[in-house]
Structure 1
Amino acid sequence: MSTPNTQMNGQSQDVAEQRRKELEQLFPGIFTETRNDKGELKITIDLERLKAELGEFTDIYDNRRERYGMDWPGKRDCLRLIQQPSTATLKPCRDESVDFDTTENLFIEGDNLEVLKLLQKSYYGKVKMIYIDPPYNTGKEFIYPDNFSESLDTYLQYAGLKDSEGRTFSTNTANEGRFHTKWLNMMYPRLYLARNLLREDGVIFISIDDNEVENLRRMCDEIFGEENQIACLVWEKGRKNDAKLFSVGHEYMLVYAKSSSILKEKNIVWREEKPGAKEIWEQYLLLRELRGGNDEAIESELQAWFAELPKSHPSKKWSRYKRIDKNGPWRDRDISWPGGGGPEYDVIHPVTKKPCVVPESGWRFANPDEMQRQIEAGLVQFRDDHTKPPFRKTHLRPISEELEDDSEDSGDDEGLATQVRGSCIYKQSQVAVKYLKGLMGAKLFNNPKDHVEIRRLIKYVCGEEGIVLDFFSGSGTTGESVAELAIKDSSDLKYILVQLPEPNSEKEKTGKAALKAGYSTIADISKDRLRKVYSGLEDEHGRREKQENKWGFKVLKLMKSNFKLWQAPTKDISDEELLQQMELNVDHIDPNASQEDLLYELLIKAGVMPTETLEQIELTGHKVFSVAEGTLLVHLEDDIDQALIDAVLAQAPSQFICLDKAFHGNDQLKTNAVKTFQAFNQGKEKIDQIDFKTV
């Protein structure tokens, strides 16, 4: 008998090992291989690297033994940049949005490094899948800041929001000595921050070509953990006959899990329907509606439907699913042990009451109990008598993956009507080019990703729910993919797209076409693409009130904070200079900022999703924003009184935020407000307390 603090083997839990596992989940990059004095390899914790990840920087690359890992010039600055919080905000843009008030999708315009920092509080551990197609390191320019200390300022200069003097953008030509370094410095902090946003069962897909695939793999091994690599997919996009030696027509897609052990622990299996299976199921449902419980009639009419299909129809291949029972179309399968040498035991025929003939290879199921379980589930079909073995039923849609598991059937492509995907994707790149040209009316991108293939991947990994993030969204392929799945399949999928407002260039043919069509930036193209997609979906599927949150997207743009930040004075500042600095911060709110601008900045910095429900209510004559059905109350008017404080207490939100200037310097009123909330919170559980803040 075990005690509460022991495991079944009689030993207490290894606390140190448990802590190592927890540490590895949080900081996979700190575990490294070292070689001791005897030359033996050992996995150790890099304590200097752990300190760096916690913001305590030492000279982590000097005065220590050589270790296995990936280093490059600027890596330490990447770690510093990750630790530096963002002072920016996201400004709501109603005029550029679709269904601003109801949608749960986001389109964020701005530098994705700053945006990823801003999303850390509200989306930490909430994203199911990330797909990115980052700039490939081809020797051409890519427009991302190369100054680690001025990321936001550089972006704002680039976006035309500040004086352009001193703009520092990273060009990355092949003849520069830092060709790989600059690309790694751009990618590392973004991937590091992106990992934080993934759920425990989350997954990231990264498209890449030959130039950086090896560096990207090593970087991901460090950030996500080598043990969390799932696959390296190959996307074959076509052949170019003008190649001198080989036509390199493929790209790669690295796939990493947040935690492969969690995927295993939750028994997560990815499958997709084989082409044609969906149509059969839809025909079955139609016949079931027409014929009710008459399985024989449904069976007869389904077989007639199969016979009438043209040979090219994808459902024709599955015509063996022509039998019907209460669980839908099924086909017969062999009930013998794969490869021979299976168990032998009596299986009694239900009519003759005699043992059925045992298959030459033995029964498929290891023991009589499992065989009986299959029989009781209706998955064994007996013959007319006992002189022949029965056979198994395999349904088009299994009643249970456990009961109808065909994982041991190798080489048989006529198993269950779902399949695991292979590691190769075959799709001509020109298919996506032609599709996007048709949608937008001109060729605006040379190499857009294929939304049909991305849609398949998203459905394969996410199933029916989850948030999908793309922080190099480009033409908006990921957004279209999620929108179609959410509306056509009625799934609960949402997206967050992030795109730099990169100007379209007159020097490029596609850029010239975009400017002619009225798109000044790539972000403008992406937003208009999504508008056209929703317009098409509306024409095809109509608008359904219950699906309002699945339509449209909310545009937010990266901007400087609406609040002046207090700059800590230097040691040599004079009293007069300090007084001037304090006076500048008395009125610390941008006078041009609207209440909605302030509200969204407060939501983001309070860790509230900007897609939460918002409602403007009235309390004792004051307008108050109610967020997430009253969980958060925000008062942004210039006056406040005790009556409002009492009304807020009656609402009992989790948090109440108001402007400090609303007290108009009345220290007594402010002190009373603080004490009122303290008195309310006294003796209450933490979850029932109200967090009172002024800004």
Structure 2
Amino acid sequence: MEKLKMETPSGAQELFAKLAKLVPECVVEKQSAAGGVRDNNLTHAIDFDKLKQLLDDHVREGEEAYEFTWVGKKAALVEANTPIQKTLRPVKEESKDWDTTENLYIEGDNLDALKLLQESYLGKVKMIYIDPPYNTGNDFIYNDDFKMNDKEYDAAVNAFDDNGNRMFRNTDANGKFHSDWCTMIYSRLLVSRNLLKRDGVIFISIDENEVSPLKMICDEIFGASNFIAELVWAAGRKNDSKYISTSHEYILCYFRDAEYVKQNKVIWRERKRGLDEIYTEYEQLKEKYGNDYHTMEVELKLWYKDLPDGHPAKEHQHYNHIDSRGVYFPDNISWPGGGGPKYDVLHPVTHKPVKVPSRGWITANRDTMQRWIDEDRVLFGKDENSVPTLKAYLKDRESAVPYSVFYQDGRAASKRLASLMGDKVFENPKDEEILKRLIEFIGIDDGEIVLDFFAGSASTAHAVLSANLADKKNIHFIMVQLAESIDEKKCKSERSKKVARNAIKLLDSLSRPHTIAEISKERIRRAGAKILAEHPEAKDLDTGFRVLRVDSSNMKDVYYRADEVTQASLIDAVDNVKEDRSALDLLFGCLVDWGLPLSLPYAEETIAGVPVLNYSDGDLIACFAAAVPEAAVRAIAERQPLRAVFRDSSFADSPARINVEEIFRLLSPDTELRVL
């Protein structure tokens, strides 16, 4: 039986496989050099000299070229492609609706998490949104040197996390201030790109400190041709600046495959904001004034005028005319660009030809024009000396192309989060309403996935829940957040210290560790509960999440030293699974290794006296009992699962393992059978 490898895919090996298939003539055999020492074993490699000959003038060696580089870029590329021997462990007690939810919350280093998601979610994510640290000289960023031991690491980067989390403060005194940040984000974007669907999109929030290098990094990773826009979010004036009040930030936006999106004629539209308020005012005026449209128009104009600046409905104040069909504005009735048809149109009162627009009428069909007039869709002046207009009704023009520049007061999100959590427990949370707009206008369908691997306060998860409620959809989220500690002593400003104290007080009341991840998870719980309390009709809305934690491999270290001694002798000598790992831990390790979704339901049952886990109704049946009787093996095989896995140490000897293979070959030959 094949053994589960318990290691994430190697980007280098996958690229080699693609090249070998594309140019097999460049594949050669060479002596392997494990650990830098050559031996007599042969391995396959790419002959780069031959590959360069095939590419001819497309190869660059040493000459100048337009490119973006920095200290650490090569290391970041290697790190992105390096496999890891880690796993995702389920944490049921911290989850919400574990058995039914299809949302995931992953706690741990996001580069590790992205690698562990590679097999299960390759090409399955519709939208990625991230809000990485902004590198202002006072932000924490990830350190990606896996080769250092703890003492070396602490000495090298002055680590502050007692739990050994790979983070450090990237101050502007650091000579590699920008390089460190670029290295951190480069590897993570490289890995995350593989998760996007062909019509997928990534949004990245950033400020002016790193927007330029980030744009060049994204052009390289996603391709300049896949660049969509640089959105500008004006979040409100700041009065603490000496020269210019920088009141905006950026959201870079890239497609995974813009050509595919164009071929499928995908367009983005969003419902204009403020419409519901206008419709509510119109209904109230209609109830009050009946068919007195003139008075209703006067009142509607006054209502627009009294709205505060920045109110979304004020953007549509030109829709201030009313008739029996509703609210409208007098739109241009002329041919776009000029050169349109010209013919007589009679005024309904004077019965004389009205003035023809200089660009001609909007339609060449006189019957169409007359039908519009008969339906009272054309607004005439008091006589024939003015050009008529075409009534454009608000209800017919509710959608618009999203603007690249938009305003949303950045303080509003902080106030809403503080209200939800009972106090201000997070500084500068992203606005869930803005993220909801992004989710809605790109057109995410039921069952599709939104990923945020810098989850922070979990604004993205909150936005998904709100979008599902508004659009009656079932979009899933995957959040990833490091268990970054909250410590008042490490805060520099009094404001930050107060926020930290509030967060610690809240977490103490919940008996939870003092980490950002715990604040994040609690925000999702409360947001979901608030939505269900306010909308009891949405009782089927998925507001839960499965918590998974990045951890070391389920297998003991000896499992990975098969090149030093024979694996058979190791297995005979010692059980290869760590003592603290449960059957559920092992199941999720198998899901990661096999590339199965991590959010599907499973059943626990007993077959022939041993416990069995049946994942997704036969997609995978796992039995990790210390000893598995033949009756259990037969019962599992008779169900003909797509996959089956056992613990290697469950079988007494090689004949017992061979017997299992024979049973499956007879009863369920199509089952993929493995052991760990």
TM norm structure 2: 0.75
**Which one of the candidate residues 556, 563, 569 is aligned to 1:564?**
556
Q: Deviations over 1:551-576 (max 9, x none)?
A: 221111111122225566598x6xxx
Determine if the alignment matches structure 1 residue 138 to structure 2 residue 136. yes
Instruction: Provide the residue aligned with 2:675 in structure 1.
Output: 694
Measure the CA separation in 2 of the matches of 1:270 and 1:613. Answer: 34
The residue type equivalent to 2:99 in the other structure is D
Map Cα deviations across residues 623-682 of structure 1 (whole Å, 9 max, x no partner).
Answer: 4322223222222323334433443343222211222222232x3332132234345676
Q: Is the 8 A contact 1:122 1:609 kept in 2?
A: yes
Which shifted more, 163-172 or 467-476?
A: 163-172
> What's 1:58 paired with?
none
- Mapped to 2, the partners of 1:498 and 1:231 lie a distance apart of 25
Q: Counterpart in 2 of 1:469?
A: 451
The SS at the match of 1:114 is helix
What is the CA–CA distance in structure 2 between the aligned matches of 1:154 and 1:283, rounded to whole Å? 66
- 1:42-74: CA deviation from partner (whole Å, max 9, x where unpaired): xxxxx989x9xxxxxxxxx99532222122222
Give 3-state SS (helix, strand or coil) of 2:259's partner.
helix
CA–CA distance in structure 2, aligned partners of residues 301 and 372 of structure 1 = 29
Distance 1:581 1:595 in 2: 24
Identity of matched residues, %: 37
Q: Is contact 1:564-1:585 (8 Å) kept? A: no
2:619 to 618, 631, 640: 631
- Listed one character per residue, the Cα deviations across residues 432-467 of structure 1 (whole Å, up to 9, x for unaligned) are 222222222232223221222222222222445431
Unaligned runs of 5+ in 2: 1-17, 23-46, 52-58, 155-160, 285-289, 308-312, 346-352, 492-496
Cα pair 1:201 1:262 within 8 Å, conserved: yes
The 3-state SS of whatever aligns with 1:235 is strand
Aligned residue in 2 for 1:609: 597
Does residue 495 of structure 2 align to residue 514 of structure 1?
Answer: no
* Pairing 1:269–2:267 present: yes
| Counterpart code for 2:658 | T
1:329-374 superposed Cα distances (whole Å, 9 cap, x missing partner): 8887555412321246999xxxxxxx99987644535x769x9899
- Counting matched residue pairs gives 588
* CA RMSD in angstroms, aligned pairs only: 4.5
Label 1:324 to 1:244 Cα distance change in 2 as closer, same or farther (>3 A).
Answer: same
The whole-number CA distance in structure 2 between the counterparts of 1:632 and 1:372 is 63
Q: Which residue of 1 aligns with 2:652?
A: 664
Worse overlay, 586-595 or 536-545: 536-545
Change (3 A) 1:76 1:301: farther
Deviation of 1:303 after TM superposition, in Å, equals 10
Which residue number in structure 1 is paired with residue 87 of structure 2? 89
* 2:664 matches 1:677: yes
Letter of the structure 1 residue corresponding to residue 664 of structure 2: F
The Cα shift of 1:279 comes to 5.7
Q: Does the CA-based 8 Å contact 1:383-1:389 persist in structure 2?
A: no
Distance 1:521 1:88 in 2: 22
Q: Which amino acid aligns with 1:608?
A: L
Q: 1:360 to 1:72 in 2, by over 3 A?
A: closer
- For 1:374 and 1:495, how far apart are their aligned partners in 2? 52
Residue 418 of structure 2 corresponds to residue 437 of structure 1: yes
Matched, 1:530 2:520: no
- The aligned residue for residue 420 of structure 1 is 401
> 1:593 aligned to 570, 576, 581, which one?
581
> Once the 2 structures are TM-superposed, how far is the Cα of residue 499 of structure 1 from its aligned partner?
0.7
Structure 2 partner of 1:186: 184
Q: Please list, as runs of the form range in 1=range in 2, the aligned pairs for 1:338-377 lying within 5 A after superposition.
A: 338-343=336-341, 361-364=359-362
Contact residue 380 and residue 390 of structure 1 kept, 8 A = no
Distance 1:629 1:331, change over 3 A: farther
Matched, 1:452 2:455: no
Q: 1:383 to 1:502 in 2, by over 3 A?
A: closer
Secondary structure of the structure 1 residue equivalent to 2:140: coil
Work out whether residues 276 and 318 of structure 1, in 8 Å CA contact, stay in contact via their aligned partners in 2.
no
8 Å contact 1:133–1:207 — kept in the other structure?
yes
SS at match of 1:252: strand
| Amino acid of the structure 2 residue aligned with 1:560 | S
Per-residue deviation, 1:319: 5.7
Residue in structure 2 matched with residue 174 of structure 1 by the alignment: 172
Whole-Å separation in 2 of the counterparts to 1:621 and 1:496: 37
Q: How far has the Cα of 1:619 moved from its partner?
A: 4.3
Distance in 2 between residues matched to 1:154 and 1:321, nearest whole Å: 72
Question: Comparing 550-559 with 643-652, which one deviates more in the overlay?
Answer: 643-652
Check 1:629–1:171 CA distance in 2 against 1; reply closer, same or farther (3 A cut).
same
| The 10-residue stretch of structure 1 (437-446 or 174-183) with the greater mean CA deviation from structure 2 | 437-446
Q: Tell me the amino acid that sits aligned with residue 631 of structure 2.
A: A
In the aligned structure 2, how far is the partner of 1:186 from the partner of 1:639? 46
Is the Cα contact below 8 Å between 2:356 and 2:387 reproduced in 1?
A: yes
**Distance change in 2, residues 1:391/1:150 (3 Å):** farther
| Counterpart contact for 1:78–1:188, Cα < 8 Å | yes
2:544 alignment partner, one of 537, 544, 552: 552
Aligned partners of 1:559 and 1:81: how far apart in 2? 18
| Unaligned stretches of 5+ residues in structure 1 | 1-21, 27-46, 52-60, 157-162, 287-298, 348-354, 399-415, 683-688
> Do the aligned residues in 1 keep the contact of 2:320 with 2:327 (CA within 8 Å)?
no
Alignment correspondent of 2:41: none
Return the offset for 1:206: 0.9
Aligned to 1:125: 123
> TM-score, normalised to structure 1's length?
0.73
The question of whether the paired residues in 2 share the 8 Å contact of 1:77 and 1:148 is answered with no
Q: Tell me the amino acid that sits aligned with residue 495 of structure 1.
A: F
Q: Pick from 449, 454, 467: which aligns with 1:485?
A: 467
Name the amino acid aligned to 1:505: D
What is residue 67 of structure 1 aligned with on the other side?
A: 65
SS at match of 2:603: strand
- Equivalent AA in structure 2 for residue 552 of structure 1: G
Structure 1 residue identity aligned to 2:503: A
Is 2:126–2:444's contact at 8 Å kept on the other side of the alignment?
no
State the partner residue of 2:31.
none
